[in-house]
């Protein structure tokens, strides 16, 4: 924190460890209060539940990711969430996707992975043998992109 503050606020006074911890706690509180989903996310997962098996594969620190999943309600919409820190490998490594398939008890070629990052999610999943598609949120259809995809999946 001291190095960070010195970099972003040159000339700032050196803070005590206690003050630095307080700053970090304040940051974490504000950061966690900002967690939100696109408005179509939970409804989209509800459309798919019962017809498809659903899981989450996410990169990051376990504690933070578990908090996000609880706060947003995602944890109640899927069978499981795998977090890179817990499984010891992160996307886009094929092993991460294979572990998720094993958890689903499905072959990779029987799984559709939906993600937003073309390299980490789409290419990573395809390199592991999964089907994959990208949800484009930064377009005019962004707020309903997942619901639109789910509705098209249900038509097949």
The pTM assigned to this predicted structure is 0.84
Q: Which of 13-22, 28-37, 126-135 has the lowest mean pLDDT?
A: 13-22
pLDDT one-digit tens code per residue, 72-91: 999 999 999 999 999 999 99
Evaluate if residue 22 carries a pLDDT over 90: no
Asked if 58 contacts 67 with a C-beta cutoff of 8 angstroms, the reply is: no
CA distance 18 to 82: 34
Q: What is the mean pLDDT of residues 105-110?
A: 97
Taken in order 9, 60, 70, 115, the sign of the CA dihedral is positive
144's CB contacts (< 8 A; 6+ apart) are 40
What is the set of domains in the chain, with CATH numbers? 41-155 (3.40.50.1000)
Rounded percentage of the chain residues whose pLDDT exceeds 90: 72
Which of 11-20, 25-34, 138-147 has the lowest average pLDDT? 11-20
């Amino acid at each position: 924190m001291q190095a960070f503050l010195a970099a972003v606020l040159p000339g700032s006074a050196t803070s005590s460890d206690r003050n630095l911890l307080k700053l970090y706690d304040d940051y974490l509180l504000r950061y966690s209060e900002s967690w939100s989903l696109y408005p179509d996310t939970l409804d989209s997962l509800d459309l798919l539940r019962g017809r498809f098996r659903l899981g989450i594969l996410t990169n990051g620190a376990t504690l933070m990711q578990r908090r996000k999943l609880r706060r947003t309600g995602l944890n109640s919409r899927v069978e499981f969430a795998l977090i890179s820190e817990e499984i010891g490998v992160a996307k886009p490594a094929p092993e991460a996707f294979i572990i998720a398939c094993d958890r689903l008890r499905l072959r990779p070629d029987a799984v559709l992975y939906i993600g937003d990052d073309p390299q980490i999610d789409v290419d990573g999943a395809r390199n592991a043998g999964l089907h994959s598609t990208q949800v484009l949120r930064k377009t005019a259809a962004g707020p309903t992109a997942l619901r639109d995809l789910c509705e098209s999946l249900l038509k097949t």
